[in-house]
Chain A
Amino acid sequence: MVSKAFLLFTCLTLIASGPLAVSEEAVQAPSFRRDVMPVFFRATCNTGTCHGSARGKDGFMLSLFGYDAKGDYYRITQELVGRRVNLAVPEQSLLLLKATGKVPHTGGERFTKDSPYYKTLLSWIEAGALDDSAAVPLPVEITLAPERMVFEGGKGSEQVTVTARYSDGSKRDVTDLALFATNNPSTAAISKTGLVTAGGRGDTFVFARFNRFTIGSEVIVLPDDKNYQWTNPPVQNEFDGIVYDRLQKLRLLPSELCDDETFLRRVTLDLAGTLPSLEEYRAFIADTSKDKRTALVDRLIKSDGFTDLWTDLWAEMLRVKGGGYAPTATDTKAAEVYYEWIHDQMAQNRPLNEFISDQVTSTGSNLTNGPANFYTMLVHDTKFTPKNFASDFSQLLTGVRIQCAECHNHPFDRWTQDDYYGWVSFFTGIKRKQGSEPREFYIYNDMAAAPAKHLVDERPMPATVLGGEAPVPKGVDPRKALAAWLTSPKNELFAHNLANRIWAHFMGRGLVEPLDDMRVSNPPTNKPLLDCLAKRLADSGFNLRALARDICTSRIYQLSARPNKTNATDERQFSRSQLRRLRADVLLDSIVKATDGERSFSSFPKGIKAVQQYPRSSGDTTGAMTGDPFFTTFGRAGRATVCACDTKMEPTLSQTLHFIAGDTMQAQMGAGRVVPKAIEANRPPEAIIEELYIRALSRKPDAAELKALLEMVGTNTKDRKVYEDIFWSLLTSSEFIFNH
């Protein structure tokens, strides 16, 4: 009976009665991916504020910056057949009417009817608005010419050219299809068509974006300074030469070498995280040997202070916090094990690549295996989310903010969604298993876990390193391959990130800022220097102390903060020392040291320094915790995220109020009894004032200061209050709070 019904079937097809056009120029018709998609990009149809928004705009969505050509093709030609594209009367396609502003369009006129963009779209529609075959060549690289532009006397302009190389080897000038941007429009402006115009003195980068690529060219605008002459300052090591080279290009001169007092204070704070003692001050000033600065660096690098300070810095970056809420697997016991492990590595000067590698490949109990806490402390959550962890991992250990590529290809860098999902797959198997007691968790990698799925087409994306051509081999723990790639001396991402962070610690500014936002469109202010730092770090076997020594013994590090005629506005090229506020914990240790005081921390044994302390609580560790109210006021990182911006150096009103009305200064001066002891020893006012100066500022008062202060003391030479007022003033001065 069923088959009978089917026997009745005949199939007839009636060809439409209208005239049937043949796509005569099908061969030359524009390709959707190669020709049409770039028009949407250039005309900024697919930006985040327009149709590239996740929900589209006015009912029409395009993928942001064009990451999903297949989806865009569907939305343009298939979603509402006959409306956006009209194959019968191509000129009547809404796509064209909107783009040319012929009908009301929130985005107005994007291009005119006589533009090449219009012609591309029209001829694509005329040819049938076809999708590409699989073989369409796609861009694999873009170049921007010239690579470097120098403008004299703040005048002039130059046109840049963008060239794309395609997968079939062909090249094409895509200047008309690229978008342009500048990092500093007051130094170099760039027009929509790529014309660079010089502005005020400085150096910056201009960028071109095309397809998924971003590329920059450097622009230097020199001052109109006929009298500029290089002064040939001495070179103490490789870094000096590279910085000088840069300074000469920019017509800057370095400041003078700083004096011994300044150097002693600066390098002690930077290497040992505290102030020099009275004895250290006197011994260093009295020392007349030629290499005493290098000798001081060598001594400080070997000190416990160095180990404690770098343990503190790593513990902050790795978000070490201890609590009492078992489900997050971040109990105080676990934090202690992790902290002690980090401390051991720093004490032994463990190569940084091995230090990181141990953590990346770690497995086992969070209470007995310190590095395993890497997979819980960077998380501070009851569950492990591979995507979040993958982003944090990348931001911390490579300086790359890969999370942008979760929803679209990174608009200002080279990372694609393929990179992102392949990267996430390293962590999709990370699991925790409850141990023998509530605080204990075993960290392991479930190798059978499914890889992450691509957002656009849900393709499984096996674990692949950033920029990797192919997934890592199966069968072994993929984290081994990850660690090997990450910490390889050949991996610029890793070495650059570490070198930049270490340099920033000593110089007050990274070559890339923010430290954890390395991308093509945020290039280093001195690329050869970053390359050199990274190479030396890698060549030394990732020896932190060796790089610290190289930096501290360079002349650049030892320059005065006092500007000369050329470099007053320079904050990026290291032509002078930068003033930098002390970190919250180093500041507190310095107050304690200067006052001979004593400061304890709740739930830590007496006598430990602020830099040896990390946040502990009896509750959960998911939120921001600085470990002490003083730290909160002075901006120690709350360790709630991996962002380097969590450590705050900005002055705030509460800091000022804390010094005026808070308990720290009075309590520490009271505990240390520096002033009473000096009065009891019957020392003359000049000597007491000098001691207070050295304690706080590592220098003696100058004649004018001494005169004024002696007048203030007057005949009350035994009055504790007047000396303590002086001491208080010194300890709350900018000169104390800043390293300079």
Chain B
Amino acid sequence: MRLVFPLLFLYLATNAFAAEPVITYDEHIKPIFREHCLKCHGEDEHKAGLNLSTHATVLKGGSGGAAVVAGRASTSLLFKAITDTDDESRMPPKKAPLPAAQIELIRTWIQTGLRESSESQSLAAARDIGFKPVANAAAKVDGPPPMPEKLPPFTAPVTKRPLPVVAMAASPTAPLLAVAGQEYVRLIDLNTQQPLGALPFPEGQPNVIRFSHDGQVLMVAGGKPVQSGCVVLYDVRSGKRLTSVGDETDAVLAADLSPDQKLIALGGSGKVVKVYGTTDGKLRYKLTKHTDWITAVAFSPDGSKLASADRAGGIILWDTASGGILLTLAEHKAAVRALAWRGDSRMLASGGEDGQLVWWDVQDGWPAILNNNAHPPARATGVYGKIPNGVIALAFGPAGELLSAGRDRQVRLWAADGKALRAFPNDASLPLQAAIRNDGKTFVAGDAAGQLHFWAGNAKP
């Protein structure tokens, strides 16, 4: 009986995908334009130079530029015009918005590539987003996988309650999990799910935990809110502190260690991403383009790019070597909570409080997979309005699979091509962190009550 729900879920998901009707200009869109738009934007009169009466002239656009961008409703002028929340600016002018069903048809038509008729090809570029494991996805380690061996004894401070799992990471090369505690990090053996010991972090609350690419070094970033913040590196085997960088005035909220372990990027309420050298602890460069708190930073596995995200929904891709901007990735309407790179450095996933889970093709910054409600919360009867549906944690696994945690309290698994694989139902506290064991066979979530949840399985459907 337990299996009924996930099976049904999958069945529906696959079917919905297969049955998706082809939306075309001739059959679906032109009637909508005829009803609402053609009086001003038609054959006889084309206000703002825009003529919506033929497929060709729609593509031509108007005096304001292209009206539609194949595959991307969110940046299409036409779609923005009909969904503008300002009564004064919205099209059609001085009228109620178009019915939701018509707006959805137009959105789908744009997303699926602006087909003219059912014989037409989609104009949205077909792109290969398949996952190809590359050599450096997980660095080779000489000798046995790096596991803690002789950790110094440490007694965890007594706290009123366990710290919520605000930070967590799984080693990419060993069955090892690191989890945030108040002023320490606990290490857990993923074979036994038993604690191996703890590393002190007297600097405060660990807000970010990351393993180095080879799994030998553990990065812990955090601090005390509005007091101090820094990033500390530990040797996984011995538990020794290797170095500490950053001397911030607020706790570090976002940080990552570059794959070559030479750089640490960090950010927080200062709206600036700072990149430090690990050998000398000196500031290499600052990235000052963000307009709000930095919520996530992540180096690409090949080390060439750095992605950073902010609380206003902005994501920027930087060139690691120079600190120059490569791309800005605009899709999120609210705070971005998580960034994660797929092992091939080809795709970057982002999740945010707007409910969106986006897989970006980082070659051109295209949102190749755009799921605008990845963690849909259940709606109780009598409850109206927006229910928080944010995506708050992301982690890729070795096969390019993605584990996400959301405000619907579910932990969800997605295949390397973005297809929904399964959901791990959770009735407990809000999951805050997600991790996948290095062999891809254990999925972990850490929740707001400080508890860990483990599920065995793998990414194969």
Q: Is A600 an interface residue (CB 8 A)?
A: no
Q: Is A629 an interface residue (CB 8 A)?
A: no
Residue of B nearest to A77 (CB): B448
Q: Chain B residues with Cβ under 8 A from A94's Cβ?
A: 225-226
What is the size category of the interface that chain A forms with chain B?
35 or more
Residue of A nearest to B160 (CB): A21
Q: Is the CB of B385 within 8 A of A458?
A: yes
Check A16/B452 contact, CB under 8 A, given A459-B384, A460-B384: yes
A63 to chain B, nearest CB (A): 14
Q: Is A621 an interface residue (CB 8 A)?
A: no
Q: How far is the CA of A25 from the CA of B119 in the complex (A)?
A: 70
Q: Is the CB of A17 within 8 A of B186?
A: yes
Residue of B nearest to A104 (CB): B226
Q: Is the CB of A14 within 8 A of B454?
A: yes
Q: Chain B residues with Cβ under 8 A from A83's Cβ?
A: 225, 251
Q: Is A81 an interface residue (CB 8 A)?
A: yes
Q: Chain A residues with Cβ under 8 A from B449's Cβ?
A: 16
A63-99 Cβ-contact flags toward B at 8 Å (1 or 0): 0000000000010001001110011111010100110
| B:357-410 near A, CB below 8 Å | 383-386, 388
Q: Is the CB of B457 within 8 A of A8?
A: yes
Check A5/B460 contact, CB under 8 A, given A13-B453, A14-B193, A18-B181: yes
Q: Is the CB of B225 within 8 A of A90?
A: no
Check A87/B161 contact, CB under 8 A, given A9-B456, A383-B94: yes
Q: Is the CB of B159 within 8 A of A18?
A: yes
Q: How far is the CA of A13 from the CA of B251 in the complex (A)?
A: 30
Q: Is the CB of B162 within 8 A of A20?
A: yes
Check A97/B186 contact, CB under 8 A, given A2-B7, A14-B452, A383-B94: no
Q: Chain B residues with Cβ under 8 A from A128's Cβ?
A: 161
Q: Is the CB of B311 within 8 A of A59?
A: yes
Q: Chain B residues with Cβ under 8 A from A78's Cβ?
A: 388, 430
Of the candidates B160, B181, B227, the one whose C-beta lies within 8 Å of that of A87 is: B160
Q: Is the CB of B293 within 8 A of A59?
A: yes
Q: Chain B residues with Cβ under 8 A from A2's Cβ?
A: 7, 10, 461
B185 to chain A, nearest CB (A): 12
Q: Is the CB of A81 within 8 A of B226?
A: no
Q: How far is the CA of A94 from the CA of B253 in the complex (A)?
A: 14
Q: Is A569 an interface residue (CB 8 A)?
A: no
A76 to chain B, nearest CB (A): 13
Check A12/B3 contact, CB under 8 A, given A88-B160, A88-B161, A97-B225: no
Of the candidates B159, B186, B269, the one whose C-beta lies within 8 Å of that of A19 is: B159
Q: Chain A residues with Cβ under 8 A from B293's Cβ?
A: 59
Residue of A nearest to B193 (CB): A14
Of the candidates B87, B383, B424, B450, the one whose C-beta lies within 8 Å of that of A18 is: B450
A121-155 Cβ-contact flags toward B at 8 Å (1 or 0): 00000101000000000000000000000000000
B391 to chain A, nearest CB (A): 14
Q: How far is the CA of A222 from the CA of B156 in the complex (A)?
A: 68
Q: Is A470 an interface residue (CB 8 A)?
A: no
Q: Chain B residues with Cβ under 8 A from A13's Cβ?
A: 428, 451-454
Q: Is the CB of A89 within 8 A of B159?
A: yes
| B:432-461 near A, CB below 8 Å | 432, 448-458, 460-461
Check A458/B386 contact, CB under 8 A, given A14-B451, A104-B226: yes
Of the candidates A97, A103, A453, the one whose C-beta lies within 8 Å of that of B384 is: A453
What is the size category of the interface that chain B forms with chain A?
35 or more
B160-187 Cβ-contact flags toward A at 8 Å (1 or 0): 1111101000000000000001100010
Q: Chain B residues with Cβ under 8 A from A382's Cβ?
A: 94
Q: Is B158 an interface residue (CB 8 A)?
A: yes
Q: Is the CB of A82 within 8 A of B164?
A: yes
Q: Is the CB of A74 within 8 A of B388?
A: yes
Residue of B nearest to A458 (CB): B385
Q: Is B224 an interface residue (CB 8 A)?
A: yes
Check A12/B193 contact, CB under 8 A, given A5-B458, A59-B311: yes
Q: How far is the CA of A74 from the CA of B188 in the complex (A)?
A: 31
Q: Is the CB of A126 within 8 A of B160?
A: yes
| A:459-484 near B, CB below 8 Å | 459-460
Q: Chain B residues with Cβ under 8 A from A9's Cβ?
A: 455-457
Residue of A nearest to B204 (CB): A92
B46-86 Cβ-contact flags toward A at 8 Å (1 or 0): 00000000000000000000000000000000000000000
Check A18/B385 contact, CB under 8 A, given A97-B225, A103-B227, A382-B94: no
Residue of B nearest to A23 (CB): B161
Q: Is the CB of A16 within 8 A of B226?
A: no
Q: How far is the CA of A86 from the CA of B227 in the complex (A)?
A: 15
Q: Is B202 an interface residue (CB 8 A)?
A: no
Q: Is B324 an interface residue (CB 8 A)?
A: no
Q: Is the CB of A15 within 8 A of B451?
A: yes
Q: How far is the CA of A105 from the CA of B226 in the complex (A)?
A: 9
Q: Is B350 an interface residue (CB 8 A)?
A: no
Q: Is A657 an interface residue (CB 8 A)?
A: no
Interface centre among A383, A456, A460 (most CB of B within 10 A): A383
Q: How far is the CA of A128 from the CA of B159 in the complex (A)?
A: 13
Q: Is the CB of A19 within 8 A of B225?
A: no
Q: Chain A residues with Cβ under 8 A from B458's Cβ?
A: 5, 8
B154 to chain A, nearest CB (A): 12
Q: How far is the CA of A459 from the CA of B384 in the complex (A)?
A: 5
Q: How far is the CA of A130 from the CA of B159 in the complex (A)?
A: 18
Q: Is the CB of A11 within 8 A of B384?
A: no
Q: Is B205 an interface residue (CB 8 A)?
A: yes
Check A81/B166 contact, CB under 8 A, given A6-B7, A9-B455, A16-B451: yes
A13-39 Cβ-contact flags toward B at 8 Å (1 or 0): 111111111000000000000000000
Q: Chain B residues with Cβ under 8 A from A385's Cβ?
A: 87
Q: Is A715 an interface residue (CB 8 A)?
A: no
B78-106 Cβ-contact flags toward A at 8 Å (1 or 0): 00000000010000001100000000000
A367 to chain B, nearest CB (A): 22
Q: Is B130 an interface residue (CB 8 A)?
A: no
Q: Is the CB of A457 within 8 A of B453?
A: no
A258 to chain B, nearest CB (A): 54
Of the candidates A10, A82, A97, the one whose C-beta lies within 8 Å of that of B226 is: A97
Q: Is the CB of B224 within 8 A of A92?
A: yes
Q: Is B133 an interface residue (CB 8 A)?
A: no
B89 to chain A, nearest CB (A): 14
A11 to chain B, nearest CB (A): 6
A299 to chain B, nearest CB (A): 51
Residue of A nearest to B446 (CB): A16
Q: Chain B residues with Cβ under 8 A from A92's Cβ?
A: 205, 224-225
Q: Chain B residues with Cβ under 8 A from A453's Cβ?
A: 384-385
Q: How far is the CA of A19 from the CA of B450 in the complex (A)?
A: 11
Q: Is B31 an interface residue (CB 8 A)?
A: no
Q: Is the CB of A81 within 8 A of B432?
A: yes
Q: Chain A residues with Cβ under 8 A from B292's Cβ?
A: 59
Q: How far is the CA of A98 from the CA of B95 in the complex (A)?
A: 47
B432 to chain A, nearest CB (A): 6
Q: Is the CB of A16 within 8 A of B162?
A: yes
Q: Is the CB of B461 within 8 A of A5?
A: yes
Q: How far is the CA of A636 from the CA of B321 in the complex (A)?
A: 70
Q: Is A229 an interface residue (CB 8 A)?
A: no
Q: How far is the CA of A667 from the CA of B373 in the complex (A)?
A: 74
Other contacts beyond A87-B161, A88-B181, A90-B160: 9, CB < 8 A: A3-B3, A14-B188, A15-B451, A59-B293, A81-B164, A89-B160, A128-B161, A458-B385, A460-B384
Q: Could you list 25 examples of A-B contacts with CB < 8 Å?
A: A5-B460, A5-B461, A11-B454, A13-B428, A14-B451, A14-B452, A16-B450, A16-B451, A16-B452, A17-B186, A18-B156, A18-B181, A18-B450, A21-B160, A83-B251, A86-B205, A88-B161, A88-B162, A88-B181, A89-B159, A94-B225, A126-B160, A457-B385, A458-B385, A458-B386
What 3 A-B pairs come out closest when comparing CB atoms? A458-B385, A103-B226, A16-B162
Binding site for B on A (CB under 8 A): 1-3, 5-21, 59, 74, 78, 81-83, 86-90, 92, 94, 97-98, 103-105, 126, 128, 382-383, 385, 453-454, 456-460
